[in-house]
Amino acid sequence: MRIAVIGTGYLGTTHAACMAQIGHDVLGVDIDPGKVAKLQSGEVPFFEPGIDNVVRDNLASGRLRFTDSYVEAADFADVHFLTVGTPQSETGLGANLSFLNTAIDALSPHLDRPALIVGKSTVPVGTAERLARRARSVAPAGDNIEFAWNPEFLREGFAVHDTLHPDRIVVGVEHPYEMGAAKKLAELYSPLTTDDDIPFLVTSLATAELAKVAANAFLATKISFINAISEVCEATSADVTMLAGAIGADKRIGREFLEAGLGFGGGCLPKDLRAFRARADELGLADVVTFLQVVDNINMTQRRRVIEATREICGSLVGARVAVLGVAFKPNSDDIRDSPALDVAGQLQLQGAVVSVFDPKAMDNAQHLFPTLNYSLSTLDACKGADVVLILTGWDEFRKLKPEKLEAVTRSKRIIDARNCLDPPSWRAAGWNYRGIGRP
Ligand code: UGA
C-alpha cells in the first residue's frame, strides 16, 4: 500500500520505517526540512536500539522516503497516518492538539481522491470525531475521506520490536458495521497478524482513543501502587522487591511494572495521565479526577523521598557533593522528557548541592535542557570525591557496579539506589551505607 506518515518524531519515524519493512511504500512527512534531510540521508535524530538499520535498509530498497511537502503526500498516499506529538498544554493539564489540527489543515485541502486518515497520536476521547469533521469540511474529496483511530502502544527502547510484534492492534472506526476502513487496515497490518495470534480489535473511535489513554493510566497506576506500598514497607521493615515477586506471581496481577523506585516519567505516562484527568474533569467525573490525581501525586512524592533521603544521609544539601548516575527517564533511551532523574538532579543543585551527572546516552539532551549541572565523562568521573552516589536510572552499566571500584574514587561510602537495581547485602558487606526504596 502507499502510505504517508505525518510527523517524523519518535513514533512517526519508527512507524514509517517498520511499515516499509513489512513491504509498504512509505513517505514520511515533516514540516522541519532539516529533520527530513537528516532522515533522507539515513541519520535518525534520536537514540533507539535497532531503528537506524531499519531506516537505512528501507531507504536503500526505495520503499521509504521523506518529504516536507503535503502536496506530495496527498498525491502519493491512499492511507495517511497522523503521528504528530500531543504534549501537555503549556497553560494547563490538557493535551496540546495544535500539531494535529495543523497537520489536518495542511493535508486536507490536497485530498482530491478517496483516502483513509488514521490517527495514531494519543488524544483525549472525542478528538477523532472532531478531526474527521474538520478534514472533510475542507478536503475536495469530502465524504470520501474515511477516518480511523489506531493507537500506538510501543515502548521507547523497544520501539522496533513492539511495532513489528504488537500485543494487539486496535482500530477505531466511524461505522464499525461497514468495515471499509477496518478492512483496509487489516490488510495493511496483515504481515504482522498472520503468523502470530495477534488480536485485531475493531472498535468505535471513542473506544480506540480511550483504550490507549486507559492503558497508560493503568500502567501509571500500577507503578504508583507499588510505590505507595514501598512507603508502607519502609515504615514496617518489609521488602517491596520480595513483596512485588509475591504478589506478581498471581497471574491476575503480574510482575511487570511493579518496580518501586523514583517513579514514572517520559513523554507519555505523565502527560497522558494529566490529559485524561483534564478530560474526566470536562466530563464532570469527579471520582475519576481524584483517582488520577492521587496516582500523579504518589509519583511526584517519590522524587521528594529521594531528595529527602539525600539530605538526611549528607546532613545538609548545601555544599554536599552528589554523584547522579542516570538522567534519562528510563534505561536504553536518551529521552529526558519529564525525567524523574533529571528533575531530582536539578532540584538537588537548586537546593545547594554540587551535582555531577553521568548517563550513557542522555548527556547531550540533558546538557541542553539543564546546562548548569556538572556533566562527567564516565561513571567513575561523576563519582570522584562524592559524599553520596545516587542511582536514578536503571541502566545495566549501573546495575553491574562493584563497591570496590566506586570506593576508590568517592569521599564517603554512601549510596542511594533509587531504582532498586543493586544487591543490598553485597554493598553493606563492603561497608557501604546503602539505601534503596522500600527495602530494609
Ligand atoms: C509508555 C507505555 O509503556 C507504552 O505502552 C506506550 O505506548 C508509551 O508510553 C506511549 O504512550 O507512547 P514509555 O514511555 O516508553 O512507554 O516507557 P515505560 O516503559 O512505560 O516506562 C515509563 C516510566 O515508568 C519510566 O520512567 C520507567 O522508569 C517507569 N517505571 C516503569 C517504573 O518506575 N516502574 C516500573 O515498574 C516500570
Is the predicted pLDDT of residue 195 greater than 80, yes or no? Answer: no
Over pLDDT 70: what percentage of the chain?
99
Report pLDDT digits (tens) over 37-78: 999 999 999 999 999 999 999 999 999 999 999 999 999 999
Band of the pLDDT at 379, cuts 50, 70, 90?
A: very high
Q: Where does ligand 1 bind, in terms of residues with CB under 6 Å?
A: 122, 152-156, 216, 219, 223, 257-259, 261, 263-266, 268-269, 272, 329-330
Identify which of 10, 13, 46, 216 to mutate to test ligand 1's pocket (most ligand atoms within 8 A of the CB): 216
Q: How far is the CA of 52 from the centre of ligand 1 (A)?
A: 22
The per-residue pLDDT for 175 is 82
Report pLDDT digits (tens) over 93-141: 999 999 999 999 999 999 999 999 999 999 999 999 999 999 999 999 9
Ligand 1 atom with minimal separation from the 155 CA: 15
**SS3 readout for the chain:** CEEEEECCCHHHHHHHHHHHHCCCEEEEECCCHHHHHHHHCCCCCCCCCCHHHHHHHHHHHCCEEEECCHHHHHHHCCEEEECCCCCECCCCCCECCHHHHHHHHHHHHHCCCCEEEEECCCCCCCHHHHHHHHHHHHCCCHHHEEEEECCCCCCCCCHHHHHHCCCCEEEEECCCCCCHHHHHHHHHCHHHHCCCCCCEEEEEHHHHHHHHHHHHHHHHHHHHHHHHHHHHHHHHCCCHHHHHHHHHCCCCCCCCCCCCCCCCCCCCHHHHHHHHHHHHHHCCCHHHHHHHHHHHHHHHHHHHHHHHHHHHHHCCCCCCEEEEECCCCCCCCCCCCCCHHHHHHHHHHHCCCEEEEECCCCHHHHHHHCCCCEECCCHHHHHCCCCEEEECCCCHHHHCCCHHHHHCCCCCCEEEECCCCCCHHHHHHCCCEEECCCCC
Band of the pLDDT at 377, cuts 50, 70, 90?
A: very high
Q: How far is the CA of 266 from the centre of ligand 1 (A)?
A: 7
Tell me what the mean pLDDT of segment 7-17 comes to.
97
The per-residue pLDDT for 369 is 94
Ligand 1 atom with minimal separation from the 158 CA: 15
The per-residue pLDDT for 327 is 98
The per-residue pLDDT for 194 is 80
Q: How far is the CA of 335 from the centre of ligand 1 (A)?
A: 12
Band of the pLDDT at 176, cuts 50, 70, 90?
A: low
Band of the pLDDT at 158, cuts 50, 70, 90?
A: very high
Q: How far is the CA of 320 from the centre of ligand 1 (A)?
A: 32
pLDDT mean across residues, the chain? 96
Is the predicted pLDDT of residue 203 greater than 80, yes or no? Answer: yes
Between CA 270 and CA 274 the distance in angstroms is 6
Nearest CA to ligand 1 atom 22: 264
Band of the pLDDT at 197, cuts 50, 70, 90?
A: confident
Q: Of the listed 268, 314, 383, 421, which one is catalytic?
A: 268
Q: Catalytic annotation on 383?
A: no
Identify which of 155, 303, 338 to mutate to test ligand 1's pocket (most ligand atoms within 8 A of the CB): 155
Q: What angle do CA 81, 87, 89 make, to 5 degrees?
A: 130
Identify which of 11, 209, 264 to mutate to test ligand 1's pocket (most ligand atoms within 8 A of the CB): 264
